[in-house]
Amino acid sequence: MTGEQDGEIALDRAFSALADPARRAIIARLSRGQASVGELAAPFAMSMQAVSKHIAVLEAAGLVTRSRDGQRRPVHLEAAALERLTAWIDRYRLEAERRFRDLDAVLADGKDRP
């Protein structure tokens, strides 16, 4: 498998993981700092086991990691993974913006003609 294919698979996993609203909420919470599974589970009407499964999906996608702090296993956001997603999105956003500017220029040029 090439590096490009590995990157595409990583993007696929990350976007797939973020497709779930509960996982997006977990990422949003972790953007404020590390948290335990219990802390992450508090706002949800689901079991700790269900939240743990969501965390496992995010971990498999490389979006979060867990560390050991005594008996606690806090979950941490992997900011670099989010930066890679943002860079991928920005590449296409910038291209779309360039096309819109070009279209605006063509339309503006057409208005000046009788």
Q: What is the tens place of the pLDDT at every residue in 11-61?
A: 899 999 999 999 999 999 999 999 999 999 999 999 999 999 999 999 999
Model confidence at 66: pLDDT above 90: yes
Confirm if 28 and 41 have CB atoms less than 8 A apart: no
Residue 2: predicted pLDDT: 56
What pTM value is reported for the model?
0.77
Q: Give the gyration radius of the chain's Cα atoms.
A: 20
Rounded Cα gap, residues 55 and 25, in angstroms: 11
AA identity, residue 4:
E
Kindly compute the dihedral angle of the four CA atoms of residues 83, 84, 86, 92, in this order, to the nearest 10 degrees. Answer: 160
Q: Please, which pLDDT band fits residue 105 given cuts at 50, 70 and 90?
A: confident
Residue 114: predicted pLDDT: 59
Q: What is the mean pLDDT of the chain?
A: 89
Rounded Cα gap, residues 95 and 111, in angstroms: 25
